[in-house]
């Protein structure tokens, strides 16, 4: 339905007003009628379309009825579909008649100027701004959805700048402008009409701290771009140029969706009419556009790797070399974070999570910095934040626990669950559930993840582990069949089964940890007869089985989608569990190349029986297993290969706005 505005008329003096293309004016014929009038006649110049609404029937003029009774509720509607060449070049005259008819008892004249005012964005999500018949004031999800998209401008295009671009009110480069979304104001019609009216671009108070708007006038020079809207600036008066019909504004997002912010932001352009000097202006037309701020999106293990990160510390040269060799096999660049930047902190998986943001016109990676803040705390800002590489962080004012490290933040590949599609997968985080009073992920981090909407988080139980991260008992690897992946779960029962098999084959005296200095070397027989260890692993298995059931429900998995990786744990219920030998599911996945912690299992026929079993489980999927020795450099410090590495991956081909959360 067209935007409609009521116009008061007068029989004492002519009235002038503006009609915006695509809108209707409702003329108050009764309000201006002389007291003895009982009927009216209306006529207009050719550029005006007139309708009389009488007893709820709408009749287009001219019609066979020339006079209409002045009944309550009678109104005249008008619309115009061509721009005026001059101010007041179209008119409408209403003549009022008394009982006797004959000569009119009064006349009201209305002079009209038709202009076009339109605020447009990339509503159709094509990557370019265009005029559209779609409803610009609403935002809808799905492949047939519409509504513009805004990126949080959280990269740093000027290397000399102190802060990310969303924390300043300057345009520092053309690259900075390219991260923003365009909003185009079109004004057509006689230019003098705009001198007597004001055009305001404005944003709601509740949205003002979430956006910044820049305007360069008719100039392309960077220094001409001024911050005109956002923060404390709620409105900007536009002076339409005499020569230009379009004004291009650049809009940046300042904040990601979060608690209290759905991600939707509205902008309005309003035309104000000033009736007389000293009187307040009145709004006569408003156009509204809505943007949604693009969410931060995680990428799963199964996505193609683009860059591998590892830290160089005092005793891990061989580990760094092994990760480098694997990255080379996978044709993936390696970035080594030096000691000076990591300050003896090797756990790069725990400090950051790599994701991305995307709009139809632009995609760039964004690193999410955890509240953990140990030696690596400055690395994301100093070394990763840069041109087209964004940064976002959340703090834990209540104090960070181990569960706030991002080894405790994973995402599944795309899944369909009971008919509901999750084309970007589902986030997996560990918690103390079903135990009360345990550790939990910081509220700020969890709230942020939920608010992104596109990767609905699933809470798993990880507080049974000493460190407490989900990557200690699960991983995903690509597969050529079924859902395109397998879920790998650490499995004490699969490990006991394997060891029992080897014992029955006569290898009971084969020992663990051969070749490792100063490490006790229990045999298969000793492990199988250790009742305390077995009881503890029964408890661990029940914790993992609980998660298995949650994962099957939440990700729509069946048993053939899951592979049990033999693994034993040690510890006690109070202190929590840690891996008895290097935790093989805590692996680095680079396409079909897997970097798996070397388990140092019992040698059977010169081969580690644990490695052999894992190869037999994974190689039929077309995967290549490389076992990396992380025993002294990571394992004894309560982490493994995945904990000590990180990967920036290729964004999904699927566009997030095509989903329905």
CB atoms within 10 A of CB 549: 9
Question: Strands 211-215 and 226-229: what pairing?
Answer: antiparallel
| pLDDT at site 243 | 65
Q: How does residue 558 score in pLDDT terms, banded at 50, 70 and 90?
A: very high
pLDDT digits (tens, 9 = 90+) for 322-338: 999 999 999 999 999 99
Q: Cα–Cα distance between 618 and 566 in angstroms, integer?
A: 12
Q: Cα–Cα distance between 538 and 534 in angstroms, integer?
A: 6
**For the whole model, what pTM was predicted?**
0.92
Q: Decide if pLDDT at 467 tops 70.
A: yes
Please give the radius of gyration of the chain, using alpha carbons only, rounded to the nearest integer. 34
CB of 652 within 8 A of CB of 303?
yes
CB atoms within 10 A of CB 419: 6
> E strand or H helix at 510, and its extent?
none
Q: Decide if pLDDT at 141 tops 90.
A: yes
| pLDDT at site 161 | 86
Q: How does residue 443 score in pLDDT terms, banded at 50, 70 and 90?
A: confident
Q: How does residue 408 score in pLDDT terms, banded at 50, 70 and 90?
A: confident
Mean pLDDT of 46-51: 94
H runs (alpha helix) in 275-332? 317-329
Mean pLDDT of 215-219: 84
Q: Decide if pLDDT at 427 tops 90.
A: yes
pLDDT digits (tens, 9 = 90+) for 69-121: 898 778 899 999 999 999 999 999 999 999 887 899 999 999 999 999 999 99
CB of 342 within 8 A of CB of 313?
yes
pLDDT digits (tens, 9 = 90+) for 619-651: 999 999 999 999 999 999 999 999 999 999 999
Mean pLDDT of 556-581: 96
| pLDDT at site 65 | 73
Range among 33-47, 50-64, 383-397, 542-556 with highest mean pLDDT value: 542-556
274's torsion region: left (phi>0), alpha (psi -120 to 50) or beta?
beta
Q: How does residue 403 score in pLDDT terms, banded at 50, 70 and 90?
A: low
Q: How does residue 152 score in pLDDT terms, banded at 50, 70 and 90?
A: very high
| pLDDT at site 195 | 79
| pLDDT at site 434 | 59
| pLDDT at site 570 | 97
643 is catalytic: yes
| pLDDT at site 278 | 65
Q: How far is CA 282 from the centre of its chain?
A: 38
pLDDT digits (tens, 9 = 90+) for 484-540: 999 999 999 999 999 999 999 999 999 999 999 999 999 999 999 999 999 999 999
Catalytic residue among 19, 337, 609, 643: 643
pLDDT digits (tens, 9 = 90+) for 235-257: 999 887 766 788 999 999 999 99
């Amino acid at each position: 339905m067209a935007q409609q505005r009521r116009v008061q008329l007068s029989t004492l003096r002519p009235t002038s007003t503006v009609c915006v293309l695509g809108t209707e004016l409702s003329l108050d014929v009764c309000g201006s009628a002389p007291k003895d009038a009982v009927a009216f006649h209306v006529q207009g110049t050719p550029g005006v379309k007139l309708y009389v609404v009488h007893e709820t029937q709408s009749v287009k003029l001219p019609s066979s009825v020339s006079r209409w009774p002045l009944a309550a509720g009678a109104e005249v509607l008008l619309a115009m579909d061509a721009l005026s060449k001059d101010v007041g070049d179209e008119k409408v005259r209403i003549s009022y008649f008394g009982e006797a008819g004959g000569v009119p008892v009064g006349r009201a004249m209305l002079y009209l100027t038709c202009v076009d005012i339109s605020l447009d964005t990339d509503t159709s999500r094509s990557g370019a701004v265009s005029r559209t018949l779609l409803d610009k004031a609403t935002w809808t999800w799905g492949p047939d959805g519409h509504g513009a998209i805004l990126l949080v401008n959280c990269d740093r295009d000027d290397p000399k700048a102190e802060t990310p671009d969303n924390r300043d009110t300057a345009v520092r480069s053309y690259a900075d402008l390219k991260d923003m979304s365009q909003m185009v104001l079109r004004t057509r019609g006689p230019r003098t009409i705009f001198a007597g009216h004001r055009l305001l671009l404005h944003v709601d108070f509740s949205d003002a701290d979430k956006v910044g708007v820049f305007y360069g006038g008719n100039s392309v020079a960077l220094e001409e771009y001024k911050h005109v809207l956002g923060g404390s600036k709620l409105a900007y008066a536009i002076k339409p140029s005499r020569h230009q019909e379009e004004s291009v504004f650049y809009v940046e997002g300042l904040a990601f969706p979060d608690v209290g912010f759905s991600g939707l932001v509205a902008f309005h352009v309003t035309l104000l009419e000033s009736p007389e000097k000293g009187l307040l202006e009145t709004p006569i037309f408003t156009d509204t556009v809505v943007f949604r701020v693009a969410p931060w999106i995680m990428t799963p293990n199964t996505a193609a790797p683009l860059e591998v990160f590892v830290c160089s510390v005092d005793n891990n040269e061989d580990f760094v070399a092994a990760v480098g060799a694997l990255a080379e096999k996978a044709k993936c660049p390696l970035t080594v974070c030096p000691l000076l930047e990591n300050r003896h902190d090797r756990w790069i998986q725990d400090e950051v999570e790599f994701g991305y943001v995307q709009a139809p016109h632009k995609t760039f990676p964004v690193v999410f910095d955890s509240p953990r803040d140990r030696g690596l705390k400055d690395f994301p800002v100093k070394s990763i934040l840069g041109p087209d590489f964004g940064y976002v962080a959340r703090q834990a004012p209540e104090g960070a626990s181990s569960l706030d490290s991002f080894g405790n933040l994973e995402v599944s590949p795309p899944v369909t669950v009971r008919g509901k599609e999750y084309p970007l997968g589902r986030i997996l985080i560990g918690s103390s559930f079903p135990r009360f009073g345990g550790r939990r992920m910081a509220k700020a981090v969890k709230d942020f993840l939920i608010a992104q909407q596109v990767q609905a988080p699933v809470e798993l139980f990880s507080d049974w582990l000493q460190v407490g991260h989900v990557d200690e008992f699960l991983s995903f690897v690509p597969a050529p069949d079924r859902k395109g992946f397998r879920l790998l779960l650490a499995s004490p029962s699969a490990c006991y089964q394997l060891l029992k098999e080897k014992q029955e084959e006569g290898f009971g005296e084969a020992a663990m940890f051969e070749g490792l200095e100063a490490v006790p070397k229990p045999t298969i027989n000793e492990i199988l007869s250790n009742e305390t260890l077995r009881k503890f692993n029964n408890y661990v298995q029940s914790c993992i089985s609980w998660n298995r059931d949650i994962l099957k429900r939440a990700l729509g998995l069946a048993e053939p989608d899951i592979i049990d990786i033999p693994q034993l744990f040690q510890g006690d219920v109070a202190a929590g569990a840690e891996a008895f030998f290097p935790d093989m599911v805590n692996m680095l996945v680079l396409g079909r190349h897997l970097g798996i912690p070397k388990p140092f299992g019992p040698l059977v026929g010169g081969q580690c029986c644990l490695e052999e079993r894992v190869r037999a489980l994974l190689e039929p999927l077309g995967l290549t297993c490389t076992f990396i020795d992380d025993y002294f450099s990571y394992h004894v410090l309560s982490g493994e290969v995945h904990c000590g590495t990180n990967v920036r991956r290729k964004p999904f081909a699927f566009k997030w706005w095509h989903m329905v959360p």
